[in-house]
Chain A
Amino acid sequence: MAQFIIKRLIGLIFVLLGVTFITFIMGYFAPGDPIQEMLGNHFSQVQYLRLKHQYGLDLPLLQQYFNYIVQLLHGNLGTSFQQQGRPVWEILSDGVPTSLELGMWGLLVQVIVGIPLGILAALKSGTWVDTLSMGLAIFLFSVPSFILASLFQVAMVYLHGAVPGFYWPVAGWGNTWQYSLSDIQSKLGPILVYGAIGLAYFARLTRTSTLEVLRQDYIRTARAKGLKERVVVYRHAMRNALIPIITVLGVTLGFLVTGAFFTEEIFNINGIGYITIQSINTRDYPVIQATTVLLATGVVVGNFLSDLLYTAVDPRIKVS
């Protein structure tokens, strides 16, 4: 086990190095001269060179990359081009808690709605319950989040016009980690939209895996012993059916990150995704690099943890 963890950790470090290199090289070869953009139209050669030196942009490529990595290891994400002198971390510190909150609730919605839906569909497989819930899952899986979000907004605005006194905010996030009535109102829409796609994925996967387990010999044995159906399902089937779900927790991290871009953009939520899009529009490369590295690190570490959990939960899986 220890050997497995060490091996995976080494692989993880190489992947992260690769990610930083790709994002760095993109920023390096990006069109336009950021220093020139910063200084505007009127500047002297001395000013230009001084600022360039200050940002370390006059060094050779590999040395710049090396410096970047060293700074990164010190927790320094660099300084913004657009908001001169402002550390990137300060810009991100506004967005990280918001995105974390959104991500956590989104994941929760996926798990507590998606998994029971899948179990229900499997237990009632072949009936209208199955057809209905899986139809819903396929629909949610196929509708891109930006359409779902827009539809939600249309519905809320329509209700506002149709029902007197009805008001539901369709933009903003309220206060981070606070749950007054208006905060909850603001947060509910984004969270539901955000959770919807992963929810469908969870539901479909849970259904497949539950059906698979229900076909096993030990379930037949449990039934033959005369155990109650409830006991068979919850004590014998569920435990094994939910194991594959753990492996896809890593996959859903990808959904969460992609979903964040659209959800935050549409609902005007100042999170990591929103900040990334803003900085892409203003070509603030240090911020883009920082958010990319941050998101990729999150996904890689998340995948690693879900792998660990997977081997820990199921004793039948031998680590190789």
Chain B
Amino acid sequence: MDTHDRKPETDAPGFIAPASNVVQPEWELNTIPGHPEDQVGEIPEEAVIAETAPVNPNIKKSRTPFQESLRRFRRDKRAMVSLGIIIFMVVLAIIGPPIYQHIGGPYKGAFSTKTIGPDVYHTYDHQELDRTNELPSAQYWLGTDGIGRDLFARLMQGMLISIVLAVVVEIIDITLGISVGVLAGYYGGWIDQLLARLADLLFAFPGLLFVILVAGIFGGWADDTLSKIPVVGPNGNARLLLVSIALAFTAWPLMARYVRGQTLQIREQQFIEAAKTAGTKDITILTRHIVPNLFSIVMVASTLNISGTIVGEAGISFLGLGVQPPGSSIGLMIAQASQSLAAYPWELLVPSLTLVIIVLSFSFIGDGLRDAFDPHAKD
């Protein structure tokens, strides 16, 4: 067994390596008991085949388990549509606002002496006080809210907030979850005990209780202190950082538990034993042989976690403990709209529907990934 032929020392070890695996399928999911050694020799051959002749879809042997899973995922229509929606939303939230601010002619409000362009009235915090509670029009694509702010601009900003939050939370969640989970699963002992106790403790804080506590107690402090960080800025987004850290803090023990379970399984496999026999250092075994094999479980768990995270932030902002005005967040939009829901249900419908679509999409993607990467799934 030639576990050393890839000269692991030349590669930088990294805990968040899984992402790079997409293009390096040779490590993927070699968890089939008894066949780990196939993985190493198989790849160059297949690469040659792929270059010289078109791959026959009937020959299953020519695919790695990873490609097999990816193929299953691509065939899942529901998941692919959801993925398309999410990609569309991400693109819209990032490049939408600058484009939107260039669309439309000059405008002079009844209460204003100045003529303003779309770069002003299409921003998410500009108020046009004589244009409140409007339905969609050519000027305001989704109408305006109770104090004359553009709903479309606010919605895009809210989606951006959700995306930033999801990314921050998942980075912390995955980093902590993998490092603690792998160490607990591989070494056991006190770190395993610590993880178990910590998980018990955090599970005692049901749902959002911990996040509500943190956001509620330290929210004012965050407004003062964290808003001095240049990237965060004073736009009411300071608490978002606090909320995301709190959300990640409640999420990672679950991730660590999944990772720990998977690590326990991988640890008993022959290729780990072979690596040990060959004198591979522990750190190399962990980073090169175990962490890459966690890719699928981490991906599924974090995707399924994202919808909970986004709803969590919306809920916290809804309660008035998250993003502060004049900042925008989907939860904040819902809260503001629900004050006048009887007269202007449209303003409630827009952010609610967006949130529901985001949540459903992430659930479908997560389900699809789970079905595709579950080794027991039938083709």
Contact = CB atoms under 8 A, between A and B. Distances in A.
A258 interface: yes
Interface string B334-367: 1001100110010010001001100110010000
B372 to A, nearest CB: 18
Interface in A127-148: 138-139, 141-144, 146-147
B363 A296 contact: no
A15 B220 contact: no
A147 B209 contact: no
A257 B206 contact: yes
A257 B207 contact: yes
Contacts, number: 126
Contacts of A253: 206
Contacts of A151: 348, 352
Given A144-B311, A154-B341, A276 B201 contact: no
Interface residues of A, number: 50
Nearest to A259: B207
A103 to B, nearest CB: 12
Given A147-B334, A266-B338, A280 B207 contact: no
A49 to B, nearest CB: 25
Interface string A262-295: 1001100000000011001101010010001001
Nearest to B220: A31
B212 A254 contact: no
Contact of B338 (A15, A150, A281): A150
Dominant secondary structure of chain B at its interface with chain A: helix
A19 interface: yes
Interface stretch (B2-10, B149-157, B271-279, B314-322): B314-322
B204 A300 contact: yes
B110 to A, nearest CB: 30
A26 B214 contact: yes
Dominant secondary structure of chain A at its interface with chain B: helix
B264 interface: no
Interface residues of B, number: 40
Interface in B36-88: none
A138 B361 CA distance: 11
Contacts of A303: 203
B147 interface: no
B204 A143 contact: no
A146 B319 CA distance: 10
A244 interface: no
B200 interface: yes
A168 interface: no
A261 interface: yes
A195 to B, nearest CB: 16
Nearest to B219: A280
Contacts of A256: 206
Interface string A145-178: 0110011011001100000000000000000000
A16 B205 CA distance: 10
Given A26-B214, A31-B221, A147-B352, A277 B319 contact: yes
A215 B94 CA distance: 49
A56 interface: no
Contacts of A292: 205, 209, 213
Contacts of B311: 144
B221 to A, nearest CB: 4
Contact of A262 (B204, B318, B345, B348): B318
A226 interface: no
By CB atoms of chain B within 10 A, which of A26, A31, A141, A146 has the most? A146
A138 B315 contact: no
Given A143-B356, A146-B315, A262-B318, A288 B206 contact: no
A160 to B, nearest CB: 9
A27 interface: yes
A126 interface: no
B208 interface: yes
A218 to B, nearest CB: 22
Interface in A281-320: 281, 283, 285, 288, 292, 295-296, 299-300, 303
Nearest to A257: B206
8 contacts: A26-B217, A146-B331, A146-B338, A154-B342, A261-B208, A281-B320, A296-B206, A299-B206
Interface of B: 197, 200-201, 203-209, 212-214, 216-218, 220-221, 307, 311, 314-315, 318-321, 331, 334, 337-338, 341-342, 345, 348, 352, 355-356, 359-360, 363
Given A26-B218, A292-B213, A303-B203, 13 more contacts: A11-B200, A23-B213, A139-B360, A151-B352, A153-B341, A158-B345, A257-B206, A258-B206, A258-B209, A262-B315, A280-B216, A285-B217, A295-B209
Leading 9 A-B pairs by shortest Cβ distance: A258-B207, A280-B216, A254-B206, A157-B342, A31-B221, A257-B206, A18-B201, A142-B359, A147-B352
